[in-house]
Structure 1
């Protein structure tokens, strides 16, 4: 698909997320349709009969959007909670910390609740959290977008939270780094995997230009203080591009590994009217790593128009799992492809070719995938009519 179509798809998915967080007008709660599957057998030892319900002072929050394991507390987790995309009910968003038994960690959050009400330091709009990560020192980075109700202005923010749950005001402006302000150009965060945290507290961030604007997608570097690191590549900006203007769309970045902290970017590009998925490797300093693939790039052939939605590096540091969707805009099938860390297709996985799946809807998308210790791949995603 071309960049216009990809932006359409990206915005469509975001719209679906917002609709999902709309409350029922009569009850003030999210509408829920009956599942076609048998009821789940909840683990009654977790939370209350297998469920941990999140809210603030009796006010129901929206849906939980991200969950990660804590690095400083064993068997503890952090989850982001969306607010409702409406002005008719209290718009509550935030972060919860809880243990493996479903008990909220009362040492975290507001007034010993285990839940931190958090909205990027804003108060007049809708939060969309797309990622959260805890550092080895207990500090927390959270990122996403904020849309003001008054004028529907949408901007993207990365915030830093101290280990005690207070905003770390040493980062950015009072703890918040608004990308369009530090970069002096409008920038979007394209996906969940758009921020990587380096060992020195700096960040690498994958950025997409807004729809209708010119220029290639970028990787920028943010200092531990929340400022644009102008020593990184060209005044803090690294362009990721193939061919002419508008030919490349960047989906996200991950670390090659924790030791080298190489930057592995992925997305699609268009050449001679054909769409190709790509993986491109850079060193920590933003220099192309020529030892990966062919001159630093692994290209996914264009038998199908493939959009790489997610990339997973296996714990053994030997393999990469690319997941996403392929086909045409009117009929998308999910796909998986496995590589080694040299950028070569794994011949042991479908003879080195991508695996596609059609679940019978117009848009079958693998959103993420991971590899188990036994080598098998677990993928999650969705199917939607896009109507």
Structure 2
């Protein structure tokens, strides 16, 4: 009987795909970009993103499924892929997806076309990878929400969101969609009026894809910090906490108030939770260069915020707060923790997850800005590198080719293995699995 030594945490799982790597291709679309990955109720690996460079349409969204060993599950969609297009859209990006109790999936992204700009869209697919035409309009829900700037805002350069040349969600990192216990759907976007003014939207839909009038009577709320009413409130992600409340994160800036990290919490009707932060439902933490882009629920109802400090060079950033919004002094003494993996090189986090033992996994890229960048996976125990990961280093870099390559999302299997989706080159998207 042969025995196999235990694989070292942080090494690629050689039993997955080809030496730990699966390449994803989209027939007819030579430029795939996979931006989200998750484990389904069936324990299989799902991924979502876009395919670009086609003839007509030139861009599509894609949803796919892999078996546990990384082989394509050909029973899903057509040969393992479901390919869709948002009616009238010339540009599409996919942010995230979530599973409903019946194992169907809801995709969230943004789309732009001649009739709309950067509008959130959702699509629902059944467990076999077939578009659910009972959802929205023939399977799609396109949310064109016209907003006016807050009262009192005056700017000769003000533009509405269809005319603005600034990218709203592209600058906001990964975004989430949440299936609520009653089957309703929570989503969000960042709404830009111009370079100086923006705020977030938290949106709730009924099960059939309609705006939910029980949520703020409109089906959505505007997320605007009162101290930055005529400036920038940047909503970058949302989550639903164990008590059912809706938590958002991002950053604020502009005007006489300093730029700061931001958390905000609402109850299920859309009313700010004044017990969070002790004032208006917002918590801000002074930081003139960073943003919170993802959140992870920690034990004892604590919240871990993960993002980046956009200094020169970029650094990864983490901060932990208590359930009431006060600093978690057990994590880096309550202060933001910055990660600079290599002197003079950028370190950028593009996703995060929490293992069952409380260890923090972050993924992204490390290297030279606009140059050689490699996929990176790191693991932390609180604000310290995990000495059991990658033979004591605490992080591992993976180079698949020359040029820019970086992780775009992460999920964890039940056995703790780390599954990462990544951009590997202008024409290659990959999924990798690492030992835990």
Q: In terms of mean alpha carbon deviation, does 40-49 or 133-142 score higher?
A: 40-49
Number of the residue aligned with 1:289: 273
Q: How has the CA–CA distance of structure 1 residues 43 and 311 changed in structure 2, closer, same or farther, with 3 Å as cutoff?
A: closer
Q: Does 1:84 align with 2:52?
A: yes
Quote the Cα distance in structure 1 between the aligned partners of 2:133 and 2:300.
35
CA distance in 2, matches of 1:274, 1:85: 42
Count of residues paired in the alignment: 335
Cα deviation digits, residues 230-285 of structure 1 (max 9, x gap): 3311522312112222231111111112xx32100111123624101111111122
Higher RCO (Cα < 8 Å, 6 or more apart): 2
TM-score between both structures, scaled by the size of structure 2: 0.67
Alignment of 1:301-380 (within 5 A): 301-302=286-287, 304-314=288-298, 316=299, 318-326=301-309, 328=311, 330-358=312-340, 359-360=342-343, 364-380=347-363
1:339-383, CA deviations, whole angstroms, 9 ceiling, x for partnerless residues?
A: 232322221211111111234457543222333334332222335
* CA distance in structure 2 between the aligned counterparts of 1:248 and 1:52, rounded to whole angstroms: 38
> In the TM superposition, what whole-angstrom CA distance separates every residue of 1:107-159 from its partner, at most 9, and x where no partner exists?
3111xx2222233456x7454221112112111111213455x8996543111
1:308/1:41 CA distance change after superposition, 3 Å: closer
Alignment of 1:96-175 (within 5 A): 96-110=64-78, 113-120=79-86, 125-147=90-112, 154-175=118-139
The alignment yields a C-alpha RMSD, in angstroms, of 3.2
For the Cα contact (< 8 Å) 1:240–1:248, is it kept in 2? yes
**Mapped contact 2:91–2:112 kept (Cα < 8 A):** yes
Please list the CA deviations of residues 12-38 of structure 1 after superposition, one character each: whole Å capped at 9, or x if unmatched. xxxxxxxxxxxxxxxxxxxxxxxxxxx
Instruction: State the distance in 1 between where 2:61 and 2:283 align.
Output: 39
Q: Which protein has the bigger helix share?
A: 1
Q: Say if 1:86 and 1:261 are closer, same or farther in 2 by CA, change over 3 A.
A: same
Alignment correspondent of 1:13: none
User: Structure 1 CA distance, aligned partners of 2:29 and 2:310?
Assistant: 43
Indicate conservation of the 8 Å contact 2:33/2:51, yes or no.
yes
Shift of 1:174: 0.9
Q: 1:67 aligns with which of 34, 37, 49?
A: 37
Q: Is the 8 A contact 2:29 2:53 kept in 1?
A: no
User: What residue is the counterpart of 2:233 in the other structure?
Assistant: 248
TM-score scaled by length of structure 1? 0.75
2 CA distance for matches of 1:53 and 1:356?
32
Alignment partners' CA distance in 1, 2:328 and 2:186? 28
Deviations 1:293-333 (A, max 9, x none): 3233332223x43211111113x4632111112255x5543
CA distance in 2, matches of 1:51, 1:357: 26
User: In 2, are the aligned partners of 1:201 and 1:223 still within 8 Å (CA)?
Assistant: yes
Q: Distance in 2 between matches of 1:223 and 1:99?
A: 32
- The structure whose residues are more often strand, as a share, is 2
Are the aligned partners of 2:245 and 2:265 in contact in 1 as well (CA < 8 Å)? yes
How far does residue 287 in structure 1 lie from its aligned partner after superposition?
1.7
Q: State the alpha-carbon separation in 2 of the partners of residues 58 and 248 from structure 1.
A: 39
User: Partner residue of 1:226?
Assistant: 209
